[in-house]
């Protein structure tokens, strides 16, 4: 039995999770789960929404290129309310992750999405380009949304011109699910499935917390937590240890600082030392030519290194 969660962008009252359940909270994650954590202020030094959108788009792309399963957004400025930034970043990231044919159905065109048109496509396996029912293959797995209910099942939109019937399913209209095509002739039919079955990278979930990094790390367990910082240990020094840990860890979190403040400063504001709340603080860009490396730049650089050095 697979659970599905319905709420789209509802603020869960009394909770610190700014919920973005457009994505798949209850899905089983792949065996090696890779998450990244980014601060809410990543776009605070970019005045216009248009460039903010572009920058968030880069982060979504980086996540997809390097098969990230979850993006966590944390509050890094305890004295400011960062709700607006949390909502902006999480909405755009979740929108990008949604296949094109479901976007308008699952998202209201809120002000955050004003410049969504400039977002680059993810081009992941779960964003298929075919849109004709005759091109569907038996066994093909697609993201879908429930569009109507019947006595003996539900109809879903899988991005072709006709709805697809899922026998025996009971789901609310508007739910996003993953389905496998089981019949092409006559009435189109599909069954519910899990993204893991595809064996392919199937997008990321987004979680925006109304919490600082330290508080999140108390609530969420990761077997390996890596902070990236210019003042961290050189990657070369800790590579062996890191590799040993990564190979056995079922969940890995890689944490990035903001353009203005590194993770040492961000943790300090919570009265914490970053060295104590993560397993490694690492500098992945020896001899950087610039004084600072921006978050989106650090994500591409660090994930490229981890992808090559630790995941293959």
Spatial separation of the C-alpha atoms in residues 44 and 85, rounded to whole Å: 8
Spatial separation of the C-alpha atoms in residues 240 and 210, rounded to whole Å: 35
Pseudo-torsion of CA 9, 12, 13, 15, nearest 10°?
-140
In the complex, minimum distance from the CB of residue 223 to its own copies, in angstroms, rounded to a whole number: 21
Q: Which residues contact 64 (CB under 8 A, 6 or more apart)?
A: 97, 122, 123, 124, 201, 203, 204
The enclosing H or E element of 309 equals helix 295-310
In the complex, minimum distance from the CB of residue 279 to its own copies, in angstroms, rounded to a whole number: 20
Q: Which is nearer to its own copies, 43 or 216 (by Cβ)?
A: 43
Q: Which residues bind its own copies (CB under 8 A)?
A: 48, 50-51, 54, 58, 61-62, 64-67, 118, 120, 122-124, 201, 234-236, 284-294, 297, 300-305, 307-308, 311-312
In the complex, minimum distance from the CB of residue 69 to its own copies, in angstroms, rounded to a whole number: 10
Q: Which is nearer to its own copies, 184 or 294 (by Cβ)?
A: 294
Q: Which residues contact 288 (CB under 8 A, 6 or more apart)?
A: 230
Q: Which is nearer to its own copies, 40 or 96 (by Cβ)?
A: 96
Q: In this structure, what token pair is assigned to residue 192?
A: 């519910």
In the complex, minimum distance from the CB of residue 312 to its own copies, in angstroms, rounded to a whole number: 5
In the complex, minimum distance from the CB of residue 127 to its own copies, in angstroms, rounded to a whole number: 9
Beta bridge partners of 239: none
Q: Which is nearer to its own copies, 45 or 268 (by Cβ)?
A: 45
Q: Which is nearer to its own copies, 122 or 146 (by Cβ)?
A: 122
């Amino acid at each position: 039995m697979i659970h599905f969660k319905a709420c789209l962008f509802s603020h869960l009252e009394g909770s610190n999770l700014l919920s973005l359940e457009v994505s798949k909270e209850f899905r089983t994650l792949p065996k090696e789960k890779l998450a990244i954590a980014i601060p809410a202020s990543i776009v605070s030094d970019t005045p216009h929404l248009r460039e903010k959108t572009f920058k968030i788009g880069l982060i979504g792309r980086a996540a997809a290129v390097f098969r990230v399963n979850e993006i966590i957004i944390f509050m890094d400025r305890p004295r400011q309310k960062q709700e607006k930034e949390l909502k902006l970043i999480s909405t755009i990231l979740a929108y990008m992750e949604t296949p094109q044919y479901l976007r308008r159905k699952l998202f209201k065109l809120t002000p955050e999405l004003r410049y969504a048109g400039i977002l680059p496509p993810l081009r992941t396996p779960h964003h298929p380009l075919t849109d004709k029912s005759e091109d569907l293959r038996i066994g093909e797995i697609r993201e879908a949304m429930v569009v109507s209910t019947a006595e003996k099942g539900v109809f879903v939109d899988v991005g072709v011109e006709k709805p697809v019937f899922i026998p025996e399913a009971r789901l609310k209209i508007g739910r996003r699910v993953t389905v496998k095509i089981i019949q092409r002739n006559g009435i189109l039919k599909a069954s519910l499935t899990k993204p893991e079955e595809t064996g392919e990278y199937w997008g990321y979930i987004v979680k925006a917390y109304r919490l600082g990094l330290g508080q999140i790390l108390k609530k969420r367990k990761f077997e390996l937590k890596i902070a990236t910082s210019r003042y961290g240990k050189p990657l070369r020094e800790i590579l062996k240890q890191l590799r040993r840990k990564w190979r056995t860890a079922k969940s890995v979190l890689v944490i990035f600082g903001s353009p203005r403040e590194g993770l040492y400063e961000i943790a300090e504001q919570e009265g914490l030392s970053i060295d104590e709340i993560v397993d490694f603080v690492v500098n992945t860009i020896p001899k950087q030519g610039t004084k600072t490396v921006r978050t989106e730049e650090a994500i591409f650089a660090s994930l490229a290194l981890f992808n090559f050095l630790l995941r293959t």
